[in-house]
DNA sequence: CTGAAAGCGCTAACAC
DNA sequence: GTGTTAGCGCTTTCAG
């Protein structure tokens, strides 16, 4: 792999000159003759020179790399993609560090490679507390660890309210909330509760998952069906699809039997039977936003608290107007 | 960020000593007193020293990083995860380079950061030919570019045969293959054709997708339904789910109307209505395998041609025995 | 066992 | 406008 030194020799100039030319700073900082500049550029090109960013990182103390630590669930790809693409725009590279049960090991890897920023993407709750305090002495800008706003900025509650309001707006009264395990699901359930309270409707939450074997899920679904609700708000799409699934098995059509709304807009929700009404989380945008926050932290040292995203209601065919109560229109 | 030099000073030894101790080579290469060794280790620890891998990369000429270039579809996360986790076992890090329409730019980024290996993960067909030949002069081990076996080692054809054979085995005769756009889908369709030929059944391929608007898809589905097949083999799960979807809309149940098999085992296929019989591609394993191949290339310079993976048939509820022809029980 | 010295490829003052 | 010099933090001979 050829170096600046060789270019300097071949072109008959000094390495400084080469450096300045190659960094495109030969117009402002130093005045290098156009003739020399072109010659340098030409030889660099003919020799197939490619700058060694690693060295630049060492010298400048800036690696232009940010580390993403995660378990890399399928669903996270969009977040990562958003982060990677946004980073690329600013000349930053993203490196992936697997979590594999030890957050401190992962963190140390990031430090060893001198990542300028760290994005702990969707850490399991319990790991939040396991982070060695000494890590923070390095002062590396990070998002997703406990000491900052934590997680990604997405307003689960308000987003869930969108779905709940949609169901109420369709004229449904007996609306069941399905699932509430985990802190995120609880925020969604809370959104549901608020909407129900606003409309003086009685909230009913079915909680099947947690130790959550398939069997318990089965029972919960059976109970829901027996309850004959007008609509069911599922705290996540897979849960909703599971419900659709069991209804299908009983030859019960949706939304005829009752409406079903999900949450998350996972890729296949569009192809569910019927296509699922749900709330989208802007994963890609979130990833971009996280990079922006980290970049801001790197540049200015101050945390920009962005307005949390609010999901969008995705209207599809699993929800429909209620006619039972002589529903409006 | 503290350096070896500082440790040397604090511990009252030379930087060489520190280097050797910290690299755990003070037993074999040099005989450093246990006492000194522990002292060095202790001061390093108390000072919060973290080795700068970047410098090590520069000095040794080995970055211990491999670059993954991809468009990062949701579906690829498992492959990437497999690659990342396998890499971690060998002390390698994975960095992500977005494709964004210019393969050569992406490749150059990888070279600039001196990636030891490159994994072009599922490049669009057309990009294969756009790779600047000069790239190969760098001699960086790579998987997924045209000059090697290409793509990941997965036998699409044989895997597709699993699904086709399953359908034939259930007693179906009139089996339609749905979709064949793209080189991968064609390999799957070929698997279908072979099985049909083996059993002296007439192959029928419906090709809807390509310029593939939703409308064309719609028409294709209508034609399939009109054709009254015994079973339909869809070249990928989303296509299969789309089909299920349209059948649902017509109140046509599966597998009563006809059996449906997909391909890919995407995460939600399990929750389709009905749960989809499909063929799994071992994405995670593939990712691990790719890293192994790259590592092998790095270490020995020789391409290990692993036995291509063959998918597994995932039996679910969208396929059932045919009774029309007095089918075998 | 330990330390001096050279070097990896590049940046950045500061003279010429 | 151009070249000299020092240095980034680490590895690695090679004398003591």
My answer on whether A181 and A227 are in the same domain is yes
User: Tens digit of pLDDT for each residue in B212-228?
Assistant: 577 888 889 999 999 99
Asked if the Cβ of residue B56 lies within 7 A of any atom of strand D, the reply is yes
pLDDT, residue A122, reads 85
Q: Please, which residues have CB within 8 angstroms of residue A257's CB and are 6 or more apart in sequence? A: A225, A247
Q: What percent of chain B has pLDDT over 70?
A: 94
* CB contacts < 8 A (A, B): 170
**A308 within some domain:** no
pLDDT in tens, A118-144: 999 888 878 888 999 999 999 999 998
Same-domain check for residues A126 and A165: no
Report how far apart, in Å, the C-alpha atoms of B269 and of each of A58, A242, B130, B280 are. 47, 11, 35, 10
User: Which nucleotide's C1' is closest to B14 (Cα)?
Assistant: C3
CB count, 10 Å around CB of A214? 8
Residues B43 and B69 in one domain: no
pLDDT exceeds 70 at position A163: yes
* B162 and B274 housed in the same domain: yes
Query: Which DSSP helix (H) or strand (E) runs through B231?
Result: strand B231-234
DSSP A65: E
Mean pLDDT of chain B: 91
Q: Is the CB of A201 under 7 A from strand D?
A: no
Measure in Å the smallest separation between the Cα of B201 and chain A Cα atoms.
Answer: 31
A129 shares its domain with A189: no
For residue A297, what is the enclosing H or E element?
helix A283-300
Quickly tell me which residue has 């028409």 as its tokens: B219
B209, B217 Cβ separation under 8 angstroms:
yes
The pLDDT, as a whole number, for residue A149 is 46
Q: Is the CB of B111 under 7 A from strand C?
A: no
B183 lies in the same domain as B247: yes
pLDDT score at B212: 58
pLDDT at residue B36, rounded to an integer: 87
Chain segment A227-248, per-residue pLDDT in tens = 999 999 999 999 999 999 999 9
Could you tell me how many helices (H) and strands (E) chain B has, helices first? 11, 10
**Predicted structure pTM score:** 0.89
pLDDT of the residue at B26: 74
Residue A296 lies in a domain: no
Handedness of CA A240, A244, A247, A253 (dihedral sign): positive
Q: Which domain holds residue B139?
A: 59-150
Label residue B99 by pLDDT band (50, 70, 90). Answer: very high
* Domain CATH number, residue B220: 3.40.50.2300
B295 belongs to a structural domain: no
Tokens of B177: 């293959």
Residues B178-205, buried b or exposed e (16+ Cβ, 10 A)?
Answer: bbbbeebbbbbbbbbbbbbeeeebeebb
Distance CA A220, CA B282 (A): 32
Given B150, B173, B200, which residue is the final one in a domain?
Answer: B150
pLDDT in tens, A310-324: 999 999 999 999 988
The residue of chain B with its CA nearest to that of A245 is: B273
For B118, the 3-state DSSP assignment is: strand
Residues 6+ apart with CB under 8 A from B26: B17, B20, B32, B37
Is A325 within the bounds of a domain? no
Coil, helix or strand at residue A322: coil
Contacts of residue B7, defined as CB under 8 A and 6 or more positions apart, other chains included, come to B18, B40, B43, B44, B47, B49
Residue A54 has its nearest CB partner, among B114, B247, B273, at B114
- Verify that A183 and A92 share a domain, yes or no: no
Same domain as A31, residue A67: no
Residue ranges with strand state E in A199-272: 204-206, 231-234, 259-261
Asked if B142 contacts B172 with a C-beta cutoff of 8 angstroms, the reply is no
The DSSP result for A13-32, as a single string, is S-HHHHHHHHTT-TTTTS--
* Average confidence score pLDDT of chain A: 91
Within a domain: B182: yes
Interchain proximity B274–A245, CB inside 8 Å: yes
Contact A111 B249 (CB under 8 A): no
> What's the pLDDT at A16?
86
B245 has pLDDT over 50: yes
What is the Cα–Cα distance from A167 to A157, expressed in whole angstroms?
A: 16
Pair A110, A179 in one domain: no
Say which residues have a Cβ less than 8 Å from residue A110's Cβ, sequence separation at least 6: A67, A69, A97, A118, A140
- Indicate the pLDDT class of residue A326, thresholds 50, 70 and 90: low
Are B266 and B193 found together in one domain? yes
First to last CA, chain A: 74
pLDDT at res. A29: 64
Under 8 Å CB-to-CB from A216, ≥6 apart: which residues?
A208, A209
Question: Over 80: is that where the pLDDT of B145 sits?
Answer: no
**Residue B21 in contact with residue B36, Cβ under 8 Å?**
yes
The answer, yes or no, to whether residue B323 has pLDDT greater than 90, is no
Domain boundary among A96, A116, A150: A150
Task: Output the six-digit token pair for B130.
Answer: 């756009």
User: Are B231 and B179 found together in one domain?
Assistant: yes
For the record, the structure tokens of B301 come out as: 């310079």
CATH number of the domain at B20, please.
1.10.260.40
| Domain tally, chain B | 3
Q: Cα-flanking dihedrals φ and ψ of residue A303, to 5°?
A: -80, 120
Please check whether residue B210 lies inside any domain of the structure.
yes
Q: Do B113 and A100 touch (CB under 8 A)?
A: no
The reported pLDDT for the residue numbered B210 is 57
User: Does residue B325 lie in a domain region?
Assistant: no
Residue B152 has what pLDDT? 59
pLDDT in tens, B1-46: 899 999 998 998 888 889 989 988 776 666 788 888 899 999 999 9
Domain-embedded: residue A14: yes
**Tokens describing residue B216:** 């064309």
Which residues from chain A sit within 8 angstroms of residue B78, using beta carbons?
74
Helices (H), chain B: 4-11, 15-22, 34-47, 53-60, 77-89, 103-112, 156-169, 183-198, 214-227, 237-249, 283-300
Same domain membership, residue A206 and residue A129: no
């Amino acid at each position: 792999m050829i170096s600046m030194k060789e270019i300097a020799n071949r072109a008959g100039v000094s390495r400084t000159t080469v450096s300045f030319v190659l960094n495109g700073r030969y117009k402002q900082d130093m005045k290098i003759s156009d003739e020399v500049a072109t010659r340098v550029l030409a030889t660099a090109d003919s020799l197939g020179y490619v700058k060694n960013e690693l060295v630049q990182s060492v010298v400048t103390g800036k690696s232009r790399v940010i580390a993403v630590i995660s378990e890399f669930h399928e669903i996270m790809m969009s977040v990562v993609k958003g982060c990677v693409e946004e980073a690329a725009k600013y000349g930053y590279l993203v490196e992936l560090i697997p979590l594999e049960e030890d957050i401190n090991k992962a963190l140390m890897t990031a430090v060893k490679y001198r990542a300028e920023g760290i994005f702990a993407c969707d850490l399991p709750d319990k790991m939040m507390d396991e982070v060695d305090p000494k890590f923070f002495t390095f002062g590396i800008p990070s998002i997703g660890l406990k000491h900052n706003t934590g997680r990604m900025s997405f307003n689960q509650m308000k987003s869930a309210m969108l779905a709940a309001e949609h169901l109420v707006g369709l004229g449904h009264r007996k609306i069941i909330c399905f699932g509430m395990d985990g802190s995120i699901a609880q925020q969604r359930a809370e959104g549901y509760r608020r909407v129900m309270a606003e409309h003086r409707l009685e909230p009913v939450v079915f909680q099947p998952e947690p130790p959550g074997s398939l069997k318990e899920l089965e029972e919960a679904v059976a109970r829901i069906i027996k309850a004959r609700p007008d609509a069911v708000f599922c705290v996540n799409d897979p849960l909703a699809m599971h419900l659709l699934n069991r209804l299908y098995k009983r030859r019960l059509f949706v939304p005829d039997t009752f409406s079903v709304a999900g949450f998350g807009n996972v890729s296949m929700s569009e192809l569910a039977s019927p296509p699922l009404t749900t709330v989208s989380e802007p994963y890609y945008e979130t990833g971009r936003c996280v990079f922006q926050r980290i970049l801001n932290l790197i540049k200015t040292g101050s945390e920009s608290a962005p307005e949390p995203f609010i999901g969008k209601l995705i209207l599809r065919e699993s929800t429909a107007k209620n006619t039972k109560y002589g529903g409006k229109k």
